[in-house]
Structure 1
Amino acid sequence: MAALRPSDLLTSDPPEHTRLRRLVAGQFTARRMNRLAPRIQAIVDHHLGTLAAAPRPADLMRHVALPVPSLVISELLGVPFADRGLYQRLTTELLSLDRTREQLLASKAEMKAYLLSLVHSKRAAPANDLLTGLVQAQTTDPALTDDEMAALGQLILIAGHEATATVCGLAVLLLLRPPRLWDTLRRQPDLVDGVIDETLRYATVLQFGLLRVARGIAELPVDVTEAIRGGRQA
């Protein structure tokens, strides 16, 4: 398992985590986001139009929630949208809770091989995308390996399309449940930013898989220790 996925932002502590986070954060530049903004708006508008024109009842997930983030993450990360069937299948397999260890390892190996092939292609033919930026970052951080780039690419790819698609579906479900929050939001559209933030907090998709292990025993202040021993709430 460790050989197929080296440490990344979810499985590392400082200073390793700090190094990797700095590399990834450096790729999310205002210039890159501003450049993508018109394209993202066009993608959203097109798929909302498709949903509006679809026969009723319409499938939000199929028409909007899944294709929109898949297209956006493809543009941002530099993953061919033509490969969406492959990476969506692998994502589903990697996030499944009912696969055997052997099946999970096979999916991890396939995903790693796919992302490594993309890393190699970006090195041969650089583009204006995030994977190319990571490849170019090796000139200033020789410690950055191809395996680490593949692991970071996997994290961004899965979080960028699967998590976003799931949250979109959950958000609409919450808005349409009684009491109808959707009616309130239509009357007060200025609430939308707060609704999005609250949806991300309340309808989190990260309920499984993020394991944390204590690395040692911390020394508690004397007053806290005495309060715990005395059965009082500290």
Structure 2
Amino acid sequence: MRTIKKYLLAVVFTGTILGTQAQTKSQLEQDLTDLRTWMRKKSAQADSVTRAEWPVIKQEFKALTSGLDKNSEKLSEESKEEYSQLKGKYNEWEERNEIREEVDLNGPELERWENLMTGTNRIASIKPAALRDAYIQLTDYTRANRRRWNLRDWEYAEFVFGELNTRKAEVLDKLNNSDKIKIAALQVEFATLKKSREAQEKYNEMRDNR
């Protein structure tokens, strides 16, 4: 009799654990769905969000990702990959906003830089087939003008580059392999040009301090 009771208790205990795990996993999938929906809504508003709204957005993101961060190992591999992509997109968006706050990138001047570097001030609407040419124009313009740029110019250029990267992430699955390879190479070149600027600044600073 005692053996039967022990067996029944073990079954109940195991069932409780499995039920809790299933409930946790179900909640995590719902959290991921909520985050996906929130990101889709916020991304549509990305470049119109005001400085005053950002503290609230950061709090909302923290609340939406708290449970996912603590239990991410319980997600499926597919869900883990999606969560990583959503976090990466948010971090890139937040970084772009911080740059905008520093140099006040609103208005006609930003539109001028967008047009000069990509041929349009509606980067969020660039079609997948035209994305490669936009990266080529941006890289060519950077290569030709970078030596004349001051820090503020570079901040505009980096912001436009970030906008283009965001658009690439949105349409990545619609790009052919050739365009993906070419764009990746151009992204590396832009990063290299930026690093050469930073190295030159450090050299000038050392020379001035002698």
Q: Which has the higher contact order (CA 8 A, sep 6+)?
A: 1
Task: State TM-score, norm by structure 1.
Answer: 0.27
TM-score by length of 2: 0.30
In terms of fraction of residues, the more helix-rich structure is 2
